[in-house]
Amino acid sequence: MPALPAIEPDLLTVARRWAADPASWPVPLRFDPTSRWYARLAADDDHEVWALSWLPGQGTDLHDHGGSSGAFLVASGVLTEETVSGGRLRPHLLAAGSGRRFGSRHVHVVTNRHAEPAVSVHVYRPALRRMTRYQLTGGRLLVAEVAEAGVAW
């Protein structure tokens, strides 16, 4: 009898499980006043899990995930995700408990624009090896930098 194909876990479900139990994280959650804090919580052959904390005003550059698909869930607080559509950034508000899945070509900015700290859990398949940072100029995405795992983070 042929072997059944392996069923990949839904990445948003994985994020939801990790977000529900921060006491089980291998590193304690913390907030860094100078920059967004992040820590890898788990990794296996299929995916990796990261926790991020965001103080008011902290955010990312416009970036992709180097060919990895993924999902992220806002565990507490509110985050704003901006995606490129029609040559402009379009904001999407994500409150605690909400999240999104994304494909391997997803480009976005994530920022805490609110008065309270936020925490999110991110899952990537395969594990992040690189991220490309972009500038949006004249409605077009221009590569600003390619950051490599182990060097930039």
For the chain, the farthest-separated pair of C-alpha atoms sits apart, in whole angstroms, at 58
Question: H or E stretch including 14?
Answer: helix 11-19
Q: Could you tell me if 80 and 39 are in contact, meaning their C-beta atoms sit under 8 angstroms apart? A: no
Q: Is 136 helix (H, G, I), strand (E, B) or coil?
A: strand
68: its two tokens: 């990895």
114 annotated as ligand-binding: no
Which among 100, 96, 139 is positioned nearest to 123, based on CA atoms? 100
Q: Where are the beta strands (DSSP E) in the chain?
A: 37-43, 48-54, 69-76, 78-85, 88-95, 99-102, 108-111, 118-125, 130-137, 140-148
As annotated, the binding site includes 63, 65, 108
Please give the annotated binding residues for Fe cation, written as ranges.
63, 65, 108
